[in-house]
Amino acid sequence: MTAAFTIVLPHKRNPGNDAALSICLDTLKANTVSPDFELLISCAVDRPLFPAIDRLFRQAETEYLVFWNSDMFAAPGWDQVMLAQAAYDTIVNPILVEPAVMGIHPDNVEWDFGRRPETFRRADFEAWTANAPVPSGEGFWAPYLMSRQRYLDLGGFDLTGDLTGFVPKDVEFYAKHKANGGKVVRARAYVYHLQRYSEIAEQEKGNR
């Protein structure tokens, strides 16, 4: 059977983020309903993010792509509700839940289920999603599901200029997608986000 989608996961290696990745992969394995999907992981100690995502997007062979981060933990059934809205001209965002260790996007939900991998209260989070609030807005720029062909047809991310740090290449791509007639929708799929946990400096902050 052909896989429904490919999860693309560029992972930044350090002990703290490796611990987050273990939970990330476990929740994806346990909470993904689709029987056939692919997972592409690229690991590095340090490298620009968007060239890595672009390379994995182009390497994938499925109709749909899902970008994911190491510090994002899926709730049960996330894939089915996102796939239900998948289309060539549509980017599908889930509902991102964050503990507010830093500022959060206004479309995300603030709820604290733990601020480190070892304090993540997975059972509480998964139970909460059954009756969780559905915020307004189209959502955040990660994770997301989109057509691989749409990505290629639009030329992918703009990889010119300085690509170090947290550059907004995803925000720019969303704008290009919408400027070319694309839609962005929100599915009732919940994902918990530790917030920039790939960075050692963030892991060491006192409010963790």
- Residue 78: which CATH number? 3.90.550.10
**Predicted local distance difference test score (pLDDT) of residue 34:** 95
Any domain includes 154:
yes
Q: pLDDT-derived band of residue 165, with 50, 70 and 90 as boundaries?
A: confident
Count the domains in the chain. 1
From its phi and psi, is residue 3 left (phi > 0), alpha (psi between -120 and 50) or beta?
Answer: beta
Any domain includes 208:
no
**Predicted local distance difference test score (pLDDT) of residue 161:** 87
Mean pLDDT of 104-109: 95
pLDDT, mean over the chain: 95
Cα Rg, the chain, nearest whole Å: 16
Q: Specify whether the CB–CB gap between 80 and 94 falls below 8 A.
A: no
> What is the value of pTM for the model shown?
0.96
Any domain includes 101:
yes
Mean pLDDT of 187-200: 96
Mean pLDDT of 24-43: 97
**Predicted local distance difference test score (pLDDT) of residue 1:** 57
Any domain includes 76:
yes
CB neighbour burial string for 37-54, b if at least 16 within 10 angstroms, e if fewer: bbbbeeeeeeebbbebbb
C-alpha torsion sign, points 189, 194, 197, 201? positive
Mean pLDDT of 194-207: 95
What range defines the domain where residue 138 resides?
Answer: 5-203
Q: pLDDT-derived band of residue 168, with 50, 70 and 90 as boundaries?
A: confident
**Predicted local distance difference test score (pLDDT) of residue 65:** 98
